Copies of this chain bind each other. A is one copy, B any other.
Protein backbone atom coordinates (compact mmCIF):
# COMPACT_ATOMS: atom_id res chain seq x y z
CA UNK A 1 0.00 0.00 0.00
CA UNK A 2 2.52 2.53 1.09
CA UNK A 3 5.17 0.91 -1.00
CA UNK A 4 6.98 2.95 -3.58
CA UNK A 5 8.84 -0.15 -4.54
CA UNK A 6 7.70 -2.09 -7.52
CA UNK A 7 6.87 1.00 -9.47
CA UNK A 8 7.68 0.84 -13.13
CA UNK A 9 10.37 3.49 -13.15
CA UNK A 10 13.73 2.15 -12.16
CA UNK A 11 14.01 4.46 -9.18
CA UNK A 12 17.48 4.22 -7.81
CA UNK A 13 17.19 2.29 -4.63
CA UNK A 14 19.31 4.42 -2.32
CA UNK A 15 19.79 1.58 0.10
CA UNK A 16 18.86 -1.99 0.61
CA UNK A 17 15.27 -2.93 1.05
CA UNK A 18 15.79 -4.23 4.55
CA UNK A 19 17.16 -0.87 5.62
CA UNK A 20 14.25 1.12 4.31
CA UNK A 21 11.95 -1.43 5.90
CA UNK A 22 13.86 -0.99 9.15
CA UNK A 23 13.49 2.77 9.02
CA UNK A 24 9.81 2.49 8.28
CA UNK A 25 9.10 0.05 11.09
CA UNK A 26 11.16 2.11 13.50
CA UNK A 27 9.17 5.17 12.59
CA UNK A 28 5.93 3.30 13.15
CA UNK A 29 7.16 2.28 16.58
CA UNK A 30 8.30 5.75 17.55
CA UNK A 31 5.15 7.51 16.46
CA UNK A 32 3.16 4.83 18.19
CA UNK A 33 1.38 3.18 15.30
CA UNK A 34 2.93 -0.03 16.48
CA UNK A 35 2.21 -0.18 20.18
CA UNK A 36 4.42 -1.60 22.90
CA UNK A 37 3.90 -5.29 23.35
CA UNK A 38 2.26 -5.64 19.99
CA UNK A 39 3.00 -8.77 18.05
CA UNK A 40 4.66 -7.92 14.77
CA UNK A 41 3.31 -10.42 12.30
CA UNK A 42 5.77 -10.69 9.48
CA UNK A 43 3.21 -11.22 6.76
CA UNK A 44 1.21 -8.19 7.75
CA UNK A 45 4.25 -5.95 7.75
CA UNK A 46 5.42 -7.42 4.49
CA UNK A 47 2.07 -6.81 2.85
CA UNK A 48 1.76 -3.31 4.23
CA UNK A 49 5.24 -2.39 3.10
CA UNK A 50 4.90 -4.14 -0.21
CA UNK A 51 7.85 -6.45 0.20
CA UNK A 52 8.41 -10.08 0.96
CA UNK A 53 8.85 -11.50 4.44
CA UNK A 54 12.61 -11.81 4.14
CA UNK A 55 13.63 -8.15 4.39
CA UNK A 56 11.05 -7.73 7.12
CA UNK A 57 12.59 -10.55 9.12
CA UNK A 58 16.05 -9.11 8.72
CA UNK A 59 14.92 -5.66 9.70
CA UNK A 60 13.39 -7.13 12.82
CA UNK A 61 16.63 -8.89 13.69
CA UNK A 62 18.48 -5.62 13.40
CA UNK A 63 15.87 -3.78 15.43
CA UNK A 64 16.15 -6.34 18.18
CA UNK A 65 19.83 -5.54 18.41
CA UNK A 66 18.97 -1.96 19.22
CA UNK A 67 16.38 -2.88 21.79
CA UNK A 68 13.33 -1.79 19.85
CA UNK A 69 11.75 -5.18 19.51
CA UNK A 70 12.02 -8.40 21.44
CA UNK A 71 12.48 -11.66 19.59
CA UNK A 72 10.84 -14.69 21.07
CA UNK A 73 12.10 -17.72 19.16
CA UNK A 74 9.20 -19.62 17.79
CA UNK A 75 6.83 -16.78 18.53
CA UNK A 76 8.11 -13.86 16.52
CA UNK A 77 8.88 -10.25 17.20
CA UNK A 78 7.14 -7.97 19.65
CA UNK A 79 7.48 -4.24 20.08
CA UNK A 80 9.55 -3.73 23.17
CA UNK A 81 7.46 -2.76 26.14
CA UNK A 82 9.05 0.08 28.03
CA UNK A 83 8.28 -0.11 31.71
CA UNK A 84 8.67 2.89 33.95
CA UNK A 85 11.45 1.11 35.77
CA UNK A 86 13.36 0.45 32.60
CA UNK A 87 12.91 4.01 31.42
CA UNK A 88 14.32 5.21 34.70
CA UNK A 89 17.30 2.91 34.42
CA UNK A 90 17.84 3.95 30.85
CA UNK A 91 17.86 7.58 31.84
CA UNK A 92 20.30 6.81 34.63
CA UNK A 93 22.65 5.14 32.19
CA UNK A 94 22.34 8.04 29.83
CA UNK A 95 23.30 10.40 32.61
CA UNK A 96 26.35 8.31 33.26
CA UNK A 97 27.43 8.16 29.64
CA UNK A 98 26.79 11.77 28.78
CA UNK A 99 28.43 13.05 31.92
CA UNK A 100 31.58 11.26 30.93
CA UNK A 101 31.23 12.58 27.39
CA UNK A 102 31.04 16.12 28.67
CA UNK A 103 34.13 15.55 30.78
CA UNK A 104 36.09 14.22 27.85
CA UNK A 105 34.85 16.95 25.57
CA UNK A 106 36.11 19.54 28.01
CA UNK A 107 39.45 17.78 28.22
CA UNK A 108 40.49 18.97 24.81
CA UNK A 109 38.02 21.47 23.42
CA UNK A 110 38.14 22.38 19.75
CA UNK A 111 37.43 25.87 18.44
CA UNK A 112 35.35 24.68 15.50
CA UNK A 113 33.31 22.29 17.58
CA UNK A 114 32.61 24.94 20.17
CA UNK A 115 31.39 27.23 17.45
CA UNK A 116 29.10 24.51 16.16
CA UNK A 117 27.74 23.95 19.63
CA UNK A 118 26.88 27.60 19.99
CA UNK A 119 25.10 27.60 16.67
CA UNK A 120 22.98 24.66 17.66
CA UNK A 121 22.30 26.18 21.03
CA UNK A 122 21.12 29.41 19.49
CA UNK A 123 18.87 27.58 17.09
CA UNK A 124 17.43 25.56 19.94
CA UNK A 125 16.76 28.59 22.04
CA UNK A 126 15.12 30.34 19.13
CA UNK A 127 12.93 27.33 18.46
CA UNK A 128 12.05 27.23 22.11
CA UNK A 129 11.07 30.88 22.14
CA UNK A 130 9.06 30.37 18.97
CA UNK A 131 7.38 27.46 20.70
CA UNK A 132 8.46 25.16 17.88
CA UNK A 133 8.64 21.94 19.85
CA UNK A 134 9.82 19.73 17.03
CA UNK A 135 12.70 22.00 16.14
CA UNK A 136 13.66 22.34 19.78
CA UNK A 137 13.69 18.61 20.27
CA UNK A 138 15.75 18.17 17.13
CA UNK A 139 18.27 20.79 18.21
CA UNK A 140 18.46 19.22 21.62
CA UNK A 141 19.42 15.81 20.35
CA UNK A 142 21.73 17.42 17.84
CA UNK A 143 23.55 19.22 20.58
CA UNK A 144 23.90 16.17 22.76
CA UNK A 145 25.15 14.20 19.80
CA UNK A 146 27.72 16.85 19.07
CA UNK A 147 29.01 16.82 22.63
CA UNK A 148 29.29 13.06 22.65
CA UNK A 149 31.21 13.14 19.41
CA UNK A 150 33.57 15.69 20.88
CA UNK A 151 34.52 13.15 23.52
CA UNK A 152 36.68 11.46 20.94
CA UNK A 153 35.60 8.07 22.19
CA UNK A 154 33.72 6.37 19.40
CA UNK A 155 32.59 3.44 21.51
CA UNK A 156 31.15 5.82 24.01
CA UNK A 157 29.50 7.78 21.23
CA UNK A 158 27.91 4.73 19.68
CA UNK A 159 26.63 3.44 22.97
CA UNK A 160 25.26 6.81 23.92
CA UNK A 161 23.45 7.36 20.67
CA UNK A 162 21.91 3.94 20.99
CA UNK A 163 20.71 4.68 24.50
CA UNK A 164 19.66 8.19 23.61
CA UNK A 165 17.48 7.05 20.76
CA UNK A 166 15.55 4.85 23.11
CA UNK A 167 15.41 7.58 25.71
CA UNK A 168 13.95 9.89 23.16
CA UNK A 169 11.19 7.39 22.64
CA UNK A 170 10.02 7.67 26.21
CA UNK A 171 10.99 11.25 26.39
CA UNK A 172 9.05 12.77 23.54
CA UNK A 173 5.73 13.21 25.33
CA UNK A 174 7.34 15.21 28.08
CA UNK A 175 9.72 17.17 25.92
CA UNK A 176 7.71 20.32 26.32
CA UNK A 177 7.96 20.24 30.05
CA UNK A 178 11.40 21.71 30.11
CA UNK A 179 11.91 24.68 27.88
CA UNK A 180 14.05 27.69 28.42
CA UNK A 181 15.88 26.44 31.47
CA UNK A 182 17.20 23.53 29.51
CA UNK A 183 18.87 25.81 27.00
CA UNK A 184 20.41 27.93 29.66
CA UNK A 185 22.01 24.81 31.03
CA UNK A 186 23.23 24.00 27.58
CA UNK A 187 24.85 27.38 27.27
CA UNK A 188 26.59 26.96 30.59
CA UNK A 189 27.79 23.55 29.50
CA UNK A 190 29.33 24.95 26.36
CA UNK A 191 31.09 27.62 28.38
CA UNK A 192 32.58 24.99 30.64
CA UNK A 193 33.72 22.88 27.72
CA UNK A 194 35.31 25.88 26.06
CA UNK A 195 37.07 26.75 29.31
CA UNK A 196 38.33 23.20 29.49
CA UNK A 197 36.89 22.75 32.93
CA UNK A 198 36.21 19.03 33.08
CA UNK A 199 34.58 18.90 36.47
CA UNK A 200 32.24 21.77 35.84
CA UNK A 201 31.23 20.44 32.45
CA UNK A 202 30.59 17.00 33.88
CA UNK A 203 28.62 18.43 36.74
CA UNK A 204 26.44 20.54 34.53
CA UNK A 205 25.73 17.64 32.26
CA UNK A 206 24.92 15.39 35.16
CA UNK A 207 22.49 17.83 36.67
CA UNK A 208 21.04 18.57 33.27
CA UNK A 209 20.27 14.95 32.45
CA UNK A 210 19.10 14.27 35.98
CA UNK A 211 16.71 17.11 35.55
CA UNK A 212 15.32 15.47 32.48
CA UNK A 213 15.00 12.22 34.35
CA UNK A 214 13.10 13.84 37.17
CA UNK A 215 10.71 15.61 34.90
CA UNK A 216 10.15 12.38 33.07
CA UNK A 217 9.30 10.52 36.23
CA UNK A 218 6.98 13.24 37.42
CA UNK A 219 5.22 13.38 34.10
CA UNK A 220 4.95 9.62 34.17
CA UNK A 221 3.40 9.73 37.60
CA UNK A 222 0.73 12.06 36.30
CA UNK A 223 0.08 10.16 33.11
CA UNK A 224 0.31 6.57 34.27
CA UNK A 225 1.33 3.91 31.83
CA UNK A 226 -1.24 3.10 29.24
CA UNK A 227 -0.48 -0.45 28.36
CA UNK A 228 1.19 -3.46 29.72
CA UNK A 229 -1.50 -5.49 27.94
CA UNK A 230 -1.41 -7.48 24.76
CA UNK A 231 1.02 -10.06 26.02
CA UNK A 232 0.27 -12.60 23.37
CA UNK A 233 -2.69 -11.73 21.22
CA UNK A 234 -2.69 -14.11 18.35
CA UNK A 235 -5.30 -15.10 15.90
CA UNK A 236 -7.93 -12.53 15.23
CA UNK A 237 -11.58 -13.37 15.94
CA UNK A 238 -11.57 -15.58 12.91
CA UNK A 239 -14.20 -15.47 10.27
CA UNK A 240 -17.07 -17.80 9.62
CA UNK A 241 -14.81 -20.79 9.49
CA UNK A 242 -16.61 -22.72 6.84
Please tell me if the beta carbons of B62 and A19 are within 8 angstroms of each other in the complex: no
Partner of A159, one of B16, B64, B93: B93
Contacts A61-B58, A65-B61 given; indicate if A74 touches B16 (C-beta within 8 A): yes
A15 CA to B73 CA, complexed, in Å: 8
Please tell me if the beta carbons of A156 and B73 are within 8 angstroms of each other in the complex: no
A153 CA to B156 CA, complexed, in Å: 19
Please tell me if the beta carbons of B93 and A96 are within 8 angstroms of each other in the complex: no
A76 CA to B95 CA, complexed, in Å: 36
Please indicate the chain B residues that have their CB under 8 angstroms from the CB of A19 in the complex.
73
22 interchain pairs, CB-CB under 8 A = A15-B73, A16-B73, A16-B74, A58-B61, A61-B65, A62-B64, A62-B65, A65-B65, A89-B154, A89-B156, A90-B155, A92-B155, A92-B156, A93-B153, A93-B155, A93-B156, A93-B159, A96-B96, A96-B97, A96-B156, A155-B163, A159-B163
Kindly provide the distance from the CB of A125 to the nearest chain B CB, expressed in whole angstroms: 31
Residue A23 is within 8 A (CB to CB) of chain B in the complex: no
Interface centre among A16, A65, A96, A155 (most CB of B within 10 A): A155
A16 CA to B72 CA, complexed, in Å: 10
Residue A57 is within 8 A (CB to CB) of chain B in the complex: yes
Partner of A58, one of B16, B57, B100, B163: B57
Residue A226 is within 8 A (CB to CB) of chain B in the complex: no
Residue A66 is within 8 A (CB to CB) of chain B in the complex: yes
Partner of A153, one of B61, B73, B92, B97: B92
Please indicate the chain B residues that have their CB under 8 angstroms from the CB of A15 in the complex.
73
A73 CA to B66 CA, complexed, in Å: 18
Contacts A16-B73, A65-B61, A65-B64 given; indicate if A100 touches B96 (C-beta within 8 A): yes
A57 CA to B59 CA, complexed, in Å: 12
- Nearest B-chain residue to A166, judged by Cβ: B155
A153 CA to B91 CA, complexed, in Å: 11
A90 CA to B157 CA, complexed, in Å: 11
Which A6-38 residues sit within 8 Å CB-CB of chain B? 15-16, 19
